[in-house]
Structure 1
Amino acid sequence: MKIGELAKRSGISASAIRFYESKGLLKIVDRQSNGYRDYPLEAVALLAIINGAQKAGFTLEEIGQVLPGDISSWKHDELMAALHKKIADIESLEVRLAQNKAHLRSLIQVIDSKPQDIDCKDNAVRVMNSLGLSGG
């Protein structure tokens, strides 16, 4: 099938399909004598896998590392290792995000507890000092 039909069937733009091909993710393409790309039906499934992996947080590089050249020859152990690693990465990110959130809440609390008798400049110094960020 031509790229326009593949784009319609997969819901992915022709430019994105060409991009995936240029990144080595879509290797199952032949060229016709007129130079047009000719994709097999399995390209639709492969694009769905790429799209789903991106939605799950995988980068194109990570997808390329586990995506088989032939869709029927998945390496189970490599795929499972990549999935477990992505979960660990997400959990690590969750911890960092929770720390960032707690820090921001502390900052809000310190700013909101500004004494009535000080101006903004003095409050900024007070906030910086309370957070251990004073410059000297």
Structure 2
Amino acid sequence: MKIGELAKRTGLAASKIRFYEDIGLLKLVQRKANGYRSYPPEAELALNLIVKGQQAGFSLDELQKLVPANLDDWRHDALLSALKGKIADIDALQQKLAHSKQQLLGVLAEIEAKPDDMACADNARRVIAQISTEKK
């Protein structure tokens, strides 16, 4: 199939498909005598895998190491290891985000606890002092 049809099927711009080809991520392409690109049906699957991989947090470099030129050549152990590693990364990020959220909720609570008779600047000093003593 031509690049325009592949772009339509995948929802990707033709320039994005050419980019994936240029960086060696999409290897399922042949050149006709006239120089036009020709893609087998498997190219659609490969592009969908690339897009889903990026949505899952894999970088293009990581995907380049994982996605084989021929989809029949998957390295099972490497794929499992990469997926487990990405899940561990996501778990660590979730813990970090939860911790950050708790800190922000604490600051928000301190700001909202401003006494009615206290000026905003004085409340800011109070909150900053509270945060400073918590870090020590």
TM over 0.5: yes
TM-score normalised by length of structure 1: 0.91
Runs of at least 4 residues of structure 1 off by over 6 A? none
Q: What are the superposed Cα offsets for residues 75-102 of structure 1, whole Å, 9 maximum, x if unpaired?
A: 0000000000000000000000000110
The runs of 5 or more residues in structure 2 that have no matched partner are none
Instruction: After TM superposition, give the deviation of residue 3 of structure 1 in Å.
Output: 0.3
Q: Which amino acid aligns with 1:85?
A: G
- Secondary structure at the counterpart of residue 132 of structure 2: coil
* 2:56 is aligned with 1:56: yes
Deviates further, 50-59 or 39-48 = 50-59
- Secondary structure at the counterpart of residue 72 of structure 1: helix
Name the CA distance, whole Å, in 2 between partners of 1:27 and 1:122.
63
Instruction: After TM superposition, give the deviation of residue 33 of structure 1 in Å.
Output: 2.3
Instruction: After TM superposition, give the deviation of residue 61 of structure 1 in Å.
Output: 1.6
Partner residue, 2:36: 36
Deviates further, 9-18 or 109-118 = 9-18
Instruction: After TM superposition, give the deviation of residue 4 of structure 1 in Å.
Output: 0.4
Name the CA distance, whole Å, in 1 between partners of 2:107 and 2:97.
15
Q: What are the superposed Cα offsets for residues 99-123 of structure 1, whole Å, 9 maximum, x if unpaired?
A: 0110110011000011222211111
Instruction: After TM superposition, give the deviation of residue 130 of structure 1 in Å.
Output: 0.4
The runs of 5 or more residues in structure 1 that have no matched partner are none
Percent identity among equivalent residues? 50
Partner residue, 1:74: 74
Instruction: After TM superposition, give the deviation of residue 11 of structure 1 in Å.
Output: 2.4
Partner residue, 1:25: 25
Q: More helix by proportion, 1 or 2?
A: 2
Name the CA distance, whole Å, in 2 between partners of 1:23 and 1:106.
46
Name the CA distance, whole Å, in 2 between partners of 1:34 and 1:25.
23
User: What's the RMSD between the two structures over aligned residues?
Assistant: 1.3
TM-score normalised by length of structure 2: 0.91
* 2:15 is aligned with 1:15: yes
Q: State how many pairs are aligned.
A: 133
